[in-house]
Structure 1
């Protein structure tokens, strides 16, 4: 008997988070496992780089849409999605600049391939070589056809005394089946209003709200792989994202409409590991390696500036904002809550 999925599982399945990873066919990823673990690691890093940056930004976004904190024990629960727009220059990579040791463009090929966030077209023809002997030829994998990296956020915010509220992001190891893998997420944030702290009850004389906020998020995605057509049953992919952000926010409530602006700093890093046993086509022939690919990158570190709004329609809320950073991104979503 098939078990019914919980609403949370449905939410995560339909969320855009999995779209780039699941549009990437397993045999496409397997095409990068050539020559040696060192060469494979460089190719995987180049292919996945804009996804690492885009999702790192996305999981780190959408924390706040107003400078006003919630009253004590008032709350809202929101679901938002971020689309981080990947610039054209990052939608392709050039293997000639990667320092590959036993892989090169085939005769007449330019060595350029689409990144995973890039054109849905097969990349340059490549060859594995040893001296003057060509051992094997293959094509760099195609992209997903997307121009942005999507990622969702599920967030609960609760008001505390002293004009402070705290936020929690949590997805508790939701298993989505062998085709979709599993996602774990934990994040926490806090916001404090500055004018009541500085001015006391006189803060109501100022016609806007001002706050500072910070947040961090850890996300892990795991998925079974089958790079060698069922020959090995222990192949797994693990991708981790870690992010931090801090910002100053100014907003003005106008009836049910609250526009806001913010400036701040954000950073994210990612890691990717391919665990298990894999068969490579090397310059010396077929060879097996264990846990051959391990990457760790500092993806984003810099300033950001955002404009957006919140609509408070009684029980329901609507959110939207655009942020300019290394990758510009749009965040939008819905929520519900009790009280201001």
Structure 2
């Protein structure tokens, strides 16, 4: 079981530095029942899923000016959605659980995946068992966060790389495509797809075309999917997906080889994680099987956003860009690309 839950944590976090001992903690949380285990793991994993989702919403633009027809840019971005300090812990709400209690109910703060160590104990008392199987009565130490084990410099963020092609079509409009074919590395597979449209709406407002800046609207959607084969022969695997929809108003001003820009809008971010297959668990002196034990949905980390940044042209057709977005998970984006107007 330890291998299974270590793989699960790796799949959702895209990190490999997790102690094997924490996997046992999650096996014991599962013993509380599928409903309680999903509630606990949703709170525990939410910051990682939210960081990845917010990262996907960034890097769509580095200017408000669309390309001329058949002009294009090919841009690679790395987005770092910073996990706020408030997300390092979560509040244990007793009413959300049927079979899990705190030994010390006066302290309801527990670490998330990105939190630190804890000595807080949980009481698991499940006389009915899981799906009518197994009985559990035990005390366990609540799972600690990874920051207890990682010496991570600076704010914690999950890097989210994107590569996209933007092409000018008609009426000062860019069609933007993000695509990564399925990549398989060992037991992992990864793929992504996204599309967006940027359109100059100054042209439709009388008199505004004469103003000395560019003004556009953008809508973009991006989704990634990962799969981790826990035991291929047994049909056991974990899957993680994240999607982000962003709507933006963008303003920019070209100054020779330097273009400052800003954007205002909102994101809709959603992620999901599931463990599929049949798994064996050890109860009080017995072994039992649970099918598809984990199915989590994460949302609510989107919302309004404000971006400010700049692009610098190098050697006429190459460009560097950097911007910072203020949102629930503040995000730094750095990009490099080929740009043909």
Please report the TM-score for the alignment, with normalisation by the length of structure 1: 0.82
Distance change in 2, residues 1:82/1:336 (3 Å): same
Residue 16 of structure 2 aligns to a residue whose secondary structure is helix
Q: Answer with 104-113 or 251-260: which moved more.
A: 104-113
**Cα deviation code 1:62-113 (max 9, x no counterpart):** 1011101112112111111111112212111233447232233446995644
Q: In the alignment, which residue of structure 2 is the partner of 1:73?
A: 70
The CA distance in 2 between the partners of 1:20 and 1:117, in whole Å, is 13
**Corresponding residue pairs, total:** 314
Q: In the alignment, which residue of structure 1 is the partner of 2:254?
A: 253
Q: Is the 8 A contact 2:114 2:145 kept in 1?
A: no
Q: In the alignment, which residue of structure 2 is the partner of 1:154?
A: 163
**Cα deviation code 1:289-326 (max 9, x no counterpart):** 01011122323342111100111212211111111111
- Check if 1:135 corresponds to 2:142: no
Q: In the alignment, which residue of structure 2 is the partner of 1:5?
A: none
How does 1:243-322 map onto structure 2 within 5 Å?
Answer: 243-282=244-283, 286-313=287-314, 314-322=316-324
Q: Is the 8 A contact 1:247 1:265 kept in 2?
A: yes
Q: Is the 8 A contact 2:226 2:241 kept in 1?
A: yes
Q: In the alignment, which residue of structure 2 is the partner of 1:8?
A: none
Residue 22 of structure 1 aligns to a residue whose secondary structure is coil
Gaps of 5+ in 1: 1-16
Name which of 81, 84, 87 aligns with 1:90. Answer: 87
- Check if 1:126 corresponds to 2:133: no
Q: In the alignment, which residue of structure 2 is the partner of 1:166?
A: 175
**Cα deviation code 1:123-157 (max 9, x no counterpart):** 634343357x8435354143254622321111111
Gaps of 5+ in 2: 1-10, 128-135
Question: Shift of the alpha carbon at 1:281?
Answer: 4.6
- Check if 1:31 corresponds to 2:30: no
RMSD (Å), alpha carbons: 2.9
Question: Shift of the alpha carbon at 1:171?
Answer: 1.0
How does 1:313-332 map onto structure 2 within 5 Å?
Answer: 313=314, 314-332=316-334
Distance change in 2, residues 1:96/1:192 (3 Å): closer
Question: Shift of the alpha carbon at 1:114?
Answer: 2.5
Q: In the alignment, which residue of structure 2 is the partner of 1:225?
A: 230
The CA distance in 1 between the partners of 2:283 and 2:300, in whole Å, is 30
Name which of 44, 52, 56 aligns with 1:55. Answer: 52
Q: In the alignment, which residue of structure 2 is the partner of 1:195?
A: 202
Q: Is the 8 A contact 2:276 2:291 kept in 1?
A: yes
**Cα deviation code 1:175-230 (max 9, x no counterpart):** 1222xx11111100011112234459x83x3211111111011211111237xxx9
Q: Answer with 253-262 or 68-77: which moved more.
A: 68-77
Please report the TM-score for the alignment, with normalisation by the length of structure 2: 0.82
Q: Is the 8 A contact 1:130 1:284 kept in 2?
A: no
Name which of 323, 330, 333 aligns with 2:335. Answer: 333
